[in-house]
Chain A
Amino acid sequence: MILTMENPKEKTRCFAQEDTAAAPLSGAAQKAKKTDLPVPEAAVSARGFCVNYGSFKAVKNVDIDFSRGRVTAIIGPSGCGKSTFLRCINRMNDFVDGCTTSGLLALDGVNIFHKRLDVVELRRRVGMVFQRPNPFPKSIYDNIAYGVRLQGRIARSELDEIVELSLRRAALWDEVKDRLSSSALGLSGGQQQRLCIARALAVKPEVLLMDEPCSALDPKSTARVEELIGTLSGDYTIAIVTHNMQQASRVSDFTAFFYEGNLVEFGKTSDIFTNPKCEATNDYITGRFG
């Protein structure tokens, strides 16, 4: 299913703060919330996308486009639905009892929740990095090679090349090249997180999802990961959930503010952090609530 619509990329969109599924939108929000189909330039698009946990509405009627090769930060107070939304992009919520979705969430115009979609292939195309580094209890080399081997037989020389390239891309190669056979668990927290990013990169994803990737890291490791995000943007579409406003403003091209399951405002990061259109966004990013 290929989908097309007007390009809203460069606009800041301010949506109604109430449950948009139930309440009518203001004129500006209605204009922004056209439920036409996603832009071709968007790697990931949502239209009227909802997530429920039983009767609880965690994500309400979200319309958003993640521009290809750009970094989009998702911000909002705890429980606002940002991680739930992020995890839907590679269907991590499939394992959650009572979790149901409606509306459209598409990767390259293809519905992520289509019943015939190959979820394993989806997760190859959409990598994920979690809050806490989670290396496998294996060697550094095997951590990177793990996903590649799952995809089928591969020559050792080719695998070596992928491991080196992935570690280089994750800015970790120089630190670990002499101890590839050592346990990944012996790496520092920051190195482990970059190893997880390298592991995600090894299977050549198109989209990288990062759920608070630096929240367990010290400032120096955080800076390394942020630099890495900068070097990866352009080649990968990155969506990062973060509670750190400075991080969102430093690393992202676009920012989406979620509140109580609604996408309140979405726009260029430079606009959101200097002149947000919604009072709620202003209050949140200036630390007045949340």
Chain B
Amino acid sequence: MNSHLVRDLEALKKRLLTLAMRVEENMLKSVRSLRAMSENMADEVVVSDKLIDSLEVDIEEDCMKILALHQPVASDLRFVITVLKINGELEHIGDVAANIAKRVGYIRAEDKVEIPFDFETMTTRTVYMLKTAIDAFLRQDSALALGVCSDDEIVDMANRECYSKVREIISKNPKSAMCCINWLLVSKSLERIADMCTNIAEDVIYMRHSIIARHNIKAASEQIRGESEE
């Protein structure tokens, strides 16, 4: 047994989990800062995003070392490739969470308007997608991953509804435009995070089944079902 490789893969997994936890915390905090309209909390999100950036670089370097030193193949190779990709997605989610937090200052500065989308439902769903995608990675569970992919449509729809609602509010009350646009940006950010959770889920499917699900999740889902029936 190649104990050095197993040890390094285990360490890599732990490091990715640390990153995932930090990103999840930051995302929750950005949602809380918006709910409470707390600029202090929003600033904390922006500051801790720097830690996320540095952890992402460390994980990428670890992956490079493993590839260069161990030349992994088969399931080990797919694991390292998946970590490399998820690492990038998590860092990006961290950036988007920081962008959400940055909206607090702009929204506070404007006259208060009705939030043009179901804030609680959309944030809860997006956070759930992130948690589930990471869970799917940990358990190598493609059923969980497929669930994340199908949830994406719910968030997409909420974002589309937000756009229509913003148009409607602005046409009725043009003074609310700036505030509405910032809320639309929040909605768009949540939709992007959901997209990135879907990417993570698709990476998990690749890791588990060596199927690239990126452009045709339906076919991938059928293939996975076919494999499990065999």
- Known A-B contacts A27-B230, A246-B71, A275-B210; the reply to A287 vs B1 at CB < 8 A is yes
A contact set with B: CB distance below 8 Å: 27-28, 245-246, 249, 272-276, 281-282, 285-289
Residues 69-85 of B, flagged 1 when their CB comes within 8 A of A and 0 if not, give: 00111111110000000
In the complex the two chains form, is A286's CB within 8 Å of B230's CB? no
B76 contact set on A, CB distance < 8 A: 286
Q: Which B75-118 residues have a C-beta within 8 angstroms of A?
A: 75-78
Residues 1-44 of B, flagged 1 when their CB comes within 8 A of A and 0 if not, give: 11001100000000000000000000000000000000000000
Select from chain A the residue with minimum beta-carbon distance to B73: A273
A282 contact set on B, CB distance < 8 A: 74-75
Interface residue count on the B side (C-beta < 8 Å): 14
- The CA of A15 and the CA of B72, in the complex, are separated in Å by 24
- Known A-B contacts A27-B230, A274-B78; the reply to A286 vs B210 at CB < 8 A is no
B210 contact set on A, CB distance < 8 A: 274-275
B78 contact set on A, CB distance < 8 A: 274-275
What are 28 inter-chain pairs, A to B, with CB distance below 8 A? A27-B230, A245-B73, A246-B71, A249-B73, A272-B74, A273-B74, A273-B77, A274-B74, A274-B77, A274-B210, A275-B74, A275-B78, A276-B74, A281-B74, A282-B74, A286-B2, A286-B5, A286-B72, A286-B73, A286-B74, A286-B75, A286-B76, A287-B1, A287-B2, A287-B5, A288-B1, A288-B2, A289-B1
Select from chain A the residue with minimum beta-carbon distance to B75: A282
B5 contact set on A, CB distance < 8 A: 286-287
Select from chain A the residue with minimum beta-carbon distance to B5: A287
Residues 47-73 of B, flagged 1 when their CB comes within 8 A of A and 0 if not, give: 000000000000000000000000111
- The CA of A249 and the CA of B76, in the complex, are separated in Å by 15
- The CA of A281 and the CA of B76, in the complex, are separated in Å by 13
